[in-house]
Amino acid sequence: MRAVGFRINGGIEVLEELEVPEPVPAPGQVAVRVAFAGVNFAEIQHRRGEFGAPDGPGGVDIPGLEVSGTVVALGAGVSGPAVGQPVAAYLPAFGGYAETVAVDTRFVRPLHTAAGEADPARAAALPCVYPTAFGVLKDAGRLREGEDVLIHSAAGGVGSAAAQLARDMGAGRVYGTVGSVEKIPYAAGLGYDAVFLREGFAEHLAEATGGRGVDLVLDPVGGPVREQSLTALAPFGRVVAYGDLGRHEQWTASVWDLWKGNRTIAGFNIGDLARRAPDRIGAYLDEALRLLAAGRISAGVTQTLPLAEAAKAHELLETGTGRGKILLSLA
């Protein structure tokens, strides 16, 4: 089958088009013929080597955390979803940049929902992004109705999903930050009450909130942005750390400052959830597909590129010039 993968870690030049054997579903898995694959920042981290050296079959790793497609084979002990059924799937062990992927049925959900049929050309943008957005807002962030939220990387995949869900969950004011002025009009169109440039955001936020700050900050950036986000919290506010885009691994928070300032830092990680509470991911994916089919969320797809242009998609995300969700088409 056709796939895009890498044999060594590195820049976008290590991504290559490959012919590899079709995966055979293990017990508890199904094989999905991929129609569309969502592109995520974590796939750039995978390619760079932040999750280790390639150790897939034949020394090749195939990135890709989320897909839509059709079930084509069942592993032993699997009675559903049925062969031929259109589905979306979260792929905890990667593999989405390929014609076929094998995945545990707990992460596979039908596109047919109680609210109608979810469009496969949009559904591929949901399986990693929406469980993450639900998790950061509800589980780690403990968002309550009427609370104010600040979302960093407001125009990105998880950021734009979280903005829509925060509204759907009854948040008060929803603010966003972006890394460059060119993104402000796009982000503003996503329904934020205000969008700030990340550089100097604390001052603008203080002004917008009359000095009160916000109840919840979603932070995939880290370092100084995390530090300033803590100071931007209202009493009992929470910062949810769920990424480290700025690569500030050494940054630490002082428990003393948290205690003295009535502030909380929480963490969210979908990989850990996949290992320890996999059914929650399936439930959030079901909910996201239903919201998509009902027209209550947009998948935020801004570009669909052929699989062969995976490197271009990576470049857009890695340079911070992409917006919304980029999909790869396997057609």
Q: Which residues bind ligand NAP (CB under 6 A)?
A: 40-42, 128, 132, 153, 155-159, 178-179, 183, 220-221, 242-243, 245-246, 268-270, 317-318, 320, 322
Query: Least separation, in Å, of the C-beta of 90 and ligand NAP?
Result: 10
For residue 157, what are its two tokens? 């995949």
Q: What does the radius of gyration of the chain's CA atoms come to, in whole angstroms?
A: 20
Query: Least separation, in Å, of the C-beta of 175 and ligand NAP?
Result: 13
- Assign residue 306 a region (left: φ > 0; alpha: ψ between -120 and 50; beta: otherwise): beta
Query: Least separation, in Å, of the C-beta of 248 and ligand NAP?
Result: 9
Query: Least separation, in Å, of the C-beta of 273 and ligand NAP?
Result: 7
Query: Least separation, in Å, of the C-beta of 145 and ligand NAP?
Result: 25
Q: Which CB, 30 or 285, lies closer to ligand NAP?
A: 285
**How many CB atoms neighbour CB 163 within 10 A?**
27
Q: Which CB, 158 or 208, lies closer to ligand NAP?
A: 158
For residue 80, what are its two tokens? 């559903």
Query: Least separation, in Å, of the C-beta of 160 and ligand NAP?
Result: 8
Q: Which CB, 30 or 289, lies closer to ligand NAP?
A: 289
User: How far apart are the C-alpha atoms of 63 and 53, rounded to whole Å?
Assistant: 12
Collapsing DSSP to helix, strand or coil, 25 comes out as coil
User: How far apart are the C-alpha atoms of 267 and 124, rounded to whole Å?
Assistant: 25
Q: Which CB, 78 or 88, lies closer to ligand NAP?
A: 88
Q: Which CB, 317 or 330, lies closer to ligand NAP?
A: 317
Angle between helices 224-231 and 201-208 (to 10 degrees): 20
For residue 277, what are its two tokens? 């509470």
Q: Strand locations in 10-49, DSSP E?
A: 16-19, 29-38
The residue sitting closest to ligand NAP, measured at its beta carbon, is: 156
Q: Which CB, 31 or 297, lies closer to ligand NAP?
A: 297
Question: Which among 168, 120, 159 has a CA at the least distance from the CA of 297?
Answer: 168
Q: Which string of b and e fits 292-314 if b means at least 16 CB within 10 Å? A: bbeeebbbbbbbbbebebbbbbb
Task: Tell me which residue has tokens 């917006």.
Answer: 323
Query: Least separation, in Å, of the C-beta of 262 and ligand NAP?
Result: 25
DSSP run (H or E) holding 86: strand 86-90
Question: Which among 219, 220, 215, 167 has a CA at the least distance from the CA of 191?
Answer: 167
Query: Least separation, in Å, of the C-beta of 42 and ligand NAP?
Result: 5
User: How far apart are the C-alpha atoms of 205 and 302, rounded to whole Å?
Assistant: 28
DSSP run (H or E) holding 266: strand 263-267
26 φ/ψ angles, rounded to the nearest 5 degrees = -80, 170
Q: Which CB, 78 or 289, lies closer to ligand NAP?
A: 289
Q: Which CB, 57 or 224, lies closer to ligand NAP?
A: 224
